[in-house]
A and B are shown apart, each in its own frame.
Chain A
Amino acid sequence: MRFAFTDDQLAFRDGLRALLEQECTPAHVRDAWTNPTGRVPGLWEKLVALGLTSVLVHDWRGGFGLEYPDLVLLLEETGRFAVPEPIVETAAGLGPLLVQTDIDVAVGDTLVPWADSARLIHTARGVHDPTAVELIARPSVDGARRLFEVRGPAEPFDSVAVFERITLGVAAQQCGLADRMIELTVDYAKERQQFGVPIGSFQAVKHHLANARLALEFARPLVYRAAATLEPAHISMAKAKADEAALTSARAALQCHGAIGYTTEYDLHLYMKRSWALARSWGDARWHRDRVGTAIL
């Protein structure tokens, strides 16, 4: 038994974090809310150059031929920075099946984020040629998630593995989002003074944040375990607990920030709204618990 990441895996995580600290700041995400694509111009190419979309691709197809444990921490980072790109859908989902590693794929059940800017679309009905479908825009609470209903022909495609891998990637993103929201709130609670002391010294505030940190502490190992086994029941456990961690962190973060957190001028909402959206995508916690129940009962 050795349940840990390698130094290399951690180094790549750190490398991606350093990149995103520069290239996917809150200002970038905020800009994506109002720009034409909902994405960060130029970021996709940098993620491709870094190798994110090549990790799971077989080496004989020009990828790195690695496995999900090599990818999961990177996806967690894309959650931490609320990266508004179809990176999970591509790097974990359909990308490993493609010949080219630079193609972005928009994937969804019926609502597909970023379908208008991706080079391939995949829904529950199959794979779509973006030039042959009609896209109906639907607004998301997360302004960077440009959602579309897809009308038109589809090429049927067995996508069970795609669903599993994307679900796990979203669970990893939820962990990253939870971590980011906790971090933002801890920083704020150390600075913000009321009654002459930092609000982070009050027990009520401490306990909200401790609960969020606890939820994250016990979600991550399930996500990492599922990355190693890729068992559907394990993936469902990961998604259920990661959603819980993200939603608990979002609630705690908003409450501890008070009114400033309730504004769109402040950055918290960028991460909070992403976590709300992801929590109900790819099966919510209850759906995944039901699937675990079928496996264990």
Chain B
Amino acid sequence: MPSKSKHTISMAPVWQAFGTIRAPFMDLTFTAEEEAFRAECRAWLSANVPRPALPSGDTGDGFAAHLDWERKLFDARYAVVSWPREYGGRDASLWEWLIFEEEYYRAGAPQRVTQNGIFLLAPTIFEFGTQAQKDRLLPKMAAAEQTWCQGWSEPNAGSDLAGIQSRARRAHDGWRLSGQKTWTTRGAFCTHLFGLFRSDPDAERHRGLTYFLVDLSSPGVTVRPVERLDGDEGFAEVFLDDVLVGDDDVLGEPNHGWEVAMATTGSERGLTLRSPGRFLATAQRLIELWHAHGDDPALRDRLVAAYVDAEAYRWQTFWTVTRIVDGARTGSESSMVKVFWSELDIRLHELALDLLGPHAELLDGDDAAWMKGYEFALAGPIYAGTNEIQRNVIAERVLGLPRR
């Protein structure tokens, strides 16, 4: 550490030189190219977003309607803008991706029923997949020809994910999978599942797991839809009975599935699950609702607080993306992001219901989407690792508190 005298005497000349060495300076504007990209996205979305809104993508009919939309996005190269061109993307930068997301939600475009594939599995394939796996899986995922669901949770492995009991047994022609996965979102509609299976029962719990990719039309797979809180069959239980998968359906190394699953949870695309555009758009719609129904100053204060939080999330993301562009790798900070957006989403929807008053419970009419959105928002602090677990991660890995 420099001495005291050094500070009090020698800083001024350095300050004087400051004006000549200030680049790269803080710059809160988008480039002309980025603004042009925004305008292009806005125009295309405005012309193409389906009206009236599609039925819920978490029902059979709605899912099919959403697949049509996904294919339209793909044909216009908007399905996976940040991916390389060869796989259907545009090589868009992270900034452009954020711009696309802002415009997507601003336009009130449909939910992305492909999200678990394109946002959660794909980054893992980009990092751990073989060239053959990338070539085989990514184009079909981008085109929504194959749709992916997650196979993490089991009846006895929720927050304690390493308690997974589903087994993978080595066979002469590949691997045989047996066991049960649960709370599999859109499992009844998707064609494929990715998840962890115990391949070495004698190893320590976090070891001996392998990351598998499973075709749900394989013999031995049974899928049972489960109705969710909002009445949609968005959940499923997936039973696997001696299901054959090949060696090329292993992502990463056998018995190293935990590292594969965890390595990308906090990675740069970890922020892709819920981008700020989503909450900014919700806050904007709340403002419209306020103009229609609002007069209570207490609700006005909550509205502004929620709007400020959506802005805070946007600027925290810009902060993080700048670091990623500079080459930093984000890690456990993603736990802070997850807690923040999931609890913000609930505040936004609770406020909408309070503004609607006695009409909040109605399941028909233009405002019914708020109750549906509220029910979905309530899942946020539970899925993708409960917020209790995330707060433990923040305390232990960001603040450095002891694990036990």
A-B contact count (CB 8 A): 189
The answer for the CA separation of A172 and B287 in the assembled complex, in Å, is 29
The answer, yes or no, to whether B28 is at the interface (CB within 8 Å) is yes
Is there contact, CB below 8 Å, between B7 and A19? Answer: yes
**Given A213-B394, A218-B340, does the pair A2, B312 have CB atoms closer than 8 Å?**
no
Determine if A110 is an interface residue (Cβ-Cβ < 8 Å). no
Interface residues in A167-224 by Cβ distance below 8 A to B read 182, 186, 189-190, 197-198, 200-201, 203, 205-207, 209-211, 213-214, 217-222, 224
Helix, strand, loop or mixed for chain A's interface? helix
A23 to B6, CA, bound (A): 13
Nearest A residue to B335 by beta-carbon distance? A210
Cβ–Cβ < 8 Å partners of A6 in chain B: 22-26
How far does the Cβ of A227 sit from chain B's closest Cβ, in whole Å? 8
B401 at the binding interface (Cβ < 8 Å): yes
Q: Is the CB of A3 within 8 A of B28?
A: yes
Q: Is the CB of A219 within 8 A of B312?
A: yes
A51 & B15 in contact (Cβ 8 Å cutoff): yes
Rounded to whole angstroms, the CA-CA distance of A51 and B291 in the bound complex is 49
How far is A76 from B79 in the complex, measured between Cα atoms in Å? 42
- Residue in A2, A203, A217 whose beta carbon sits within 8 Å of that of B26 in the complex: A2
Chain A min CB distance to B388 (Å): 7
CB-based contact A1/B28 at 8 Å: yes
State whether A70 and B392 are in contact (beta carbons under 8 Å apart), knowing that A51-B12, A218-B340, A237-B312 are contacts in the complex. Answer: no
CB distance from B6 to the nearest CB of A (A): 9
Q: A206–B401 contact, CB under 8 A?
A: yes
Contact A186 B8, beta carbon cutoff 8 Å: no
From 147 to 172 in chain A, residues with beta carbon under 8 angstroms from any chain B beta carbon are none
Within 8 A of A (CB), among B9-63: 9, 11-12, 14-16, 18-19, 21-30, 34
B301 interface contact, C-beta 8 A: yes
Q: Is A277 in the interface zone, CB < 8 Å from B?
A: no
Bound Cα distance A56, B25 (Å): 16
A213 x B1 contact (CB < 8 A): no
Chain B residue with the shortest CB-CB distance to A212: B399
Q: Could you mark each residue 140-171 of chain B with 1 if its beta carbon is under 8 Å from any beta carbon of chain A, else 0?
A: 00000000000000000000000000000000
**B398 and A15 contacting across the interface, CB-CB below 8 Å:** no
Q: Is A264 an interface residue (CB 8 A)?
A: no
B296 at the interface (CB under 8 A from A): no
Taking a contact as CB atoms under 8 Å apart, the answer to whether B322 and A2 are in contact is yes
Our pick among A22, A211, A220 for the contact of B391 (Cβ within 8 Å) is A211
Beyond A207-B391, A210-B394, A292-B304, whether A50 also contacts B27 by CB under 8 A is no
A201→B404 contact, CB < 8 A: yes
Min CB–CB distance B117 → chain A (angstroms): 28
User: How far is A228 from B313 in the complex, measured between Cα atoms in Å?
Assistant: 17
User: Distance in Å from the Cβ of B138 to the closest Cβ of chain A?
Assistant: 28
* B127 contacts chain A at the CB level, 8 A cutoff: no
Q: At the interface, yes or no: B135 with Cβ under 8 Å from chain A? A: no
User: Is the Cβ of A218 less than 8 Å from the Cβ of B312?
Assistant: yes
B232 at the interface (CB under 8 A from A): no
A222 and B312 form a contact (CB under 8 A): yes
Bound CA–CA A293/B286 (angstroms):
13
**Nearest CB of B to A224, in Å:** 7
Give complex CA distance A297, B286 in Å: 10
Write the nearest CB–CB distance from B294 to chain A, whole angstroms: 8
- Contacts of A2 on B, CB cut-off 8 Å? 24-27, 322
Question: Is the C-beta of B4 less than 8 angstroms from some C-beta in chain A?
Answer: yes
Q: Chain A residues near B319: list those with CB within 8 A.
A: 3-4, 220-221, 224
CB distance from A246 to the nearest CB of B (A): 15
Give B396's nearest chain A residue, CB to CB: A206
Most buried by A among B28, B307, B315: B315
Chain B interface, DSSP helix/strand/loop, else mixed: helix
Binds B, one of A61-69, A85-93, A131-139: A61-69
Which residues of chain A come closer than 8 Å to B394, judged between CB atoms?
206, 210, 213-214
Residue from the list B9, B25, B339, B402 in contact with A49, Cβ < 8 A: B9
Residue A241 interfacial (CB < 8 Å): yes
> How far is A186 from B401 in the complex, measured between Cα atoms in Å?
7
Q: Which of A220-249 contact B (CB under 8 A)?
A: 220-222, 224-225, 228-229, 237, 240-241
- The answer on a CB contact under 8 Å between A297 and B300 is yes
Contact A4 B21, beta carbon cutoff 8 Å: no
B164-195 CB contacts (< 8 Å) to partner A? none
* B400 at the A interface (CB under 8 A): yes
| B250 interfacial contact with A, CB 8 Å | no
Whether A15 touches B309, Cβ cut-off 8 Å, given contacts A49-B9, A221-B315, is: no
A280 CB within 8 Å of chain B: no
Q: Please tell me if A286 contacts chain B, counting CB pairs below 8 Å.
A: yes
Given A206-B391, A293-B304, are A49 and B312 also a contact pair (CB < 8 Å)?
no
Q: How far is the CB of B217 from chain A (nearest CB, A)?
A: 43
List of A residues within 8 angstroms of B22 by Cβ: 6, 8
On whether the beta carbons of A46 and B8 are closer than 8 Å, the reply is yes
A51 to B8 alpha-carbon distance, docked (Å)? 9
Does A123 sit at the interface, judged by CB under 8 A?
Answer: no
For residue B290, which residues in chain A have a CB less than 8 angstroms away from its CB? 297
Residues of B contacting A217 with CB < 8 Å?
316, 333, 336, 340
Beyond contacts A8-B22, A69-B25, A190-B400: 11 other A-B pairs, Cβ-Cβ < 8 A, are A1-B30, A1-B318, A3-B319, A6-B22, A23-B4, A190-B401, A210-B390, A210-B392, A214-B339, A218-B313, A221-B312
Sample of 11 A–B contacts (CB below 8 Å): A19-B7, A49-B12, A51-B11, A55-B15, A207-B388, A210-B390, A213-B394, A219-B312, A224-B319, A229-B28, A237-B308
Which 6 residue pairs of A and B lie closest in terms of their CB atoms, listed nearest first? A206-B395, A221-B315, A210-B391, A200-B401, A210-B394, A218-B312
